[in-house]
Amino acid sequence: MALHDLRKDLAPISSDTMADVVEVKLREYLKRKSFRPGDALPKELELADALGISRNVLREALSRLRMLGMIETKKKRGMILSRPDILGSFERVLDPLIIDNKTLQDIFELRLVLEMGLADLLWIRKTDKDIAELENIARKEVDRDATFRIKNEIAFHGKLYEISGNDTLKRFQIMLMPTFEYVLTLEKKPTRGKVSHMDLVNILKHGTKEDFKVGMQAHLQPHFDRLQRNK
């Protein structure tokens, strides 16, 4: 790529600009030039010259894009635009030992919103085998200790995410696991909605997706009630 074309597209910036501004510039350039995963990027020296910065500053900005999974280096090709792993960064930091309660609460509320919207996908992709597996999980529900309850919740709700057939949702479900134990710490005694897991299974077997939406709302209602009390 000609240097004057790069300078036209990127425009030099002052030498004392921080690397985060360079990162923004590079993002804007990639979008403006409609780069797609697999496309080769200009060489480091060309980018640094076009931006009017040192290669050290450029490398710091590029390292941030690499950490986000936006670019990678291929043998004989150099830097290319990659397909970012959107959830990868979340998975690395979603550890309840290093996350504060406010963040855990936010993540749990995200889980509530996601599960309220699962019905449409479930009705497209559910099978008799899926429902039988859900029913088997629900039948195991008895008054057991907290550890069993967490495992059972994860198993049942995890199966719902699996039935959705959406890989991102399934990964998100795994990431949301720390919130199950967090919720138990908020309850003085176990709370259950008017609609149980077995009730949800029966709706999947014999009801409509509208019935399931209503049922899921009732199943999760104790959590919404707690949010209302604590607002």
Residues 45 and 159 in one domain: no
- Please give the model's pTM, rounded to 2 decimal places: 0.66
Residues 33 and 93 in one domain: no
Looking at residue 4, its pLDDT comes to: 66
Residues 37 and 146 in one domain: no
Looking at residue 120, its pLDDT comes to: 95
Amino acid of residue 185? T
CA distance 64 to 16: 18
From first to last of its 231 residues, what are the pLDDT tens digits of the chain? 566 677 677 766 554 556 888 999 999 999 999 999 899 999 999 999 999 999 999 999 999 898 888 899 888 888 999 887 666 666 666 665 667 778 888 888 888 999 999 999 999 999 999 999 999 999 887 655 555 577 888 889 999 999 999 988 888 887 777 677 777 677 666 667 899 999 999 999 999 999 999 999 999 998 898 888 877
Looking at residue 150, its pLDDT comes to: 74
Q: Domain holding 158: CATH number?
A: 1.20.120.530
Question: What's the angle, vertex CA 148, arms to CA 143 and CA 154, rounded to 5?
Answer: 115
Tally of domains within the chain? 2
The count of other CB atoms within 10 Å of the CB of residue 67 is 11
Residues 75 and 98 in one domain: no
Residues 65 and 94 in one domain: no
Query: Could you tell me which of 44, 49, 41 has the C-alpha nearest to residue 7?
Result: 49
Q: How many helices (H) and strands (E) does the chain have?
A: 13, 2
Residues 161 and 108 in one domain: yes
Residues 205 and 150 in one domain: yes
CA distance 82 to 80: 6
For residue 2, count CB atoms less than 10 angstroms from its CB and return exposed for 0-12, middle for 13-18, buried for 19 or more: exposed
158, 162, 166, 167: CA torsion to nearest 10: 80
Query: Could you tell me which of 102, 115, 103 has the C-alpha nearest to residue 160?
Result: 115
Residues 44 and 107 in one domain: no
Looking at residue 164, its pLDDT comes to: 94
Domain that holds residue 63: 3-81
Residues 59 and 109 in one domain: no
DSSP, residue by residue, 135-184: HHHHHT--S--HHHHHHHHHHHHHHHHHHHT-HHHHHHHHHTTHHHHHHH
Residues 179 and 162 in one domain: yes
Any idea what DSSP says for residue 188?
S
Residues 38 and 110 in one domain: no
Of 81, 106, 128, which residue sits at a domain end? 81
CA distance 177 to 111: 10
